[in-house]
Chain A
Amino acid sequence: MKTVFKLFRIFFRLGLFTFGGGFAMIPLIEEEIIKKNSMLREDQFFDIVAFTQSLPGSLAVNMSIFIGYHIYGVPGALTSAIAVAIPPFSVILLIATFFIRFMDIPLVQQAFRGIRVAVLVLILLALKRLAQKVSWNVYKMILVAGIIAAISVFGVHPGFAILISAALGYFVFQPMEEKEG
Chain B
Amino acid sequence: MLKLLLIFLQVGIFSFGGGYAAIPFIEQLLIVRNEWMAYQEFVDIIAIAQMSPGPIAVNSATFVGYNLKSFLGALVATFGVLLLPSIVSITLARYFERFKKSKYIRGLLKGLRPAVIGLIATAEISIGRTAFVGYSILPIVKNVAIALIVFVFLDIMDQHPIAAIVLAGILGMLFY
Contacts and interface: CB of A to CB of B under 8 A. Distances in A.
Interface of A: 15-22, 47-48, 51-62, 65-66, 69-70, 74, 77-78, 81, 84-85, 87-89, 91-93, 95-97, 99, 103, 107, 110-128, 130-131, 133-134, 140-141, 143-148, 151-152, 155, 157-159, 161-162, 164-174, 177
B168 A117 contact: yes
B124 A127 contact: yes
B111 A165 contact: yes
A170 B62 contact: no
Q: Binding site of A, secondary structure by majority: helix, strand, loop or mixed?
A: helix
Interface of B: 10, 12-20, 23-25, 28-29, 32, 40, 43-44, 46-59, 62-63, 66-67, 71, 74, 78, 81-82, 84-86, 88-90, 92-94, 96, 99-100, 103-128, 131, 143, 146-147, 150-151, 154-155, 160-162, 164-165, 167-173, 175-176
A80 B171 CA distance: 39
A25 to B, nearest CB: 9
A168 B47 contact: no
Q: Binding site of B, secondary structure by majority: helix, strand, loop or mixed?
A: helix
Contacts of B18: 21-22, 53, 57-60
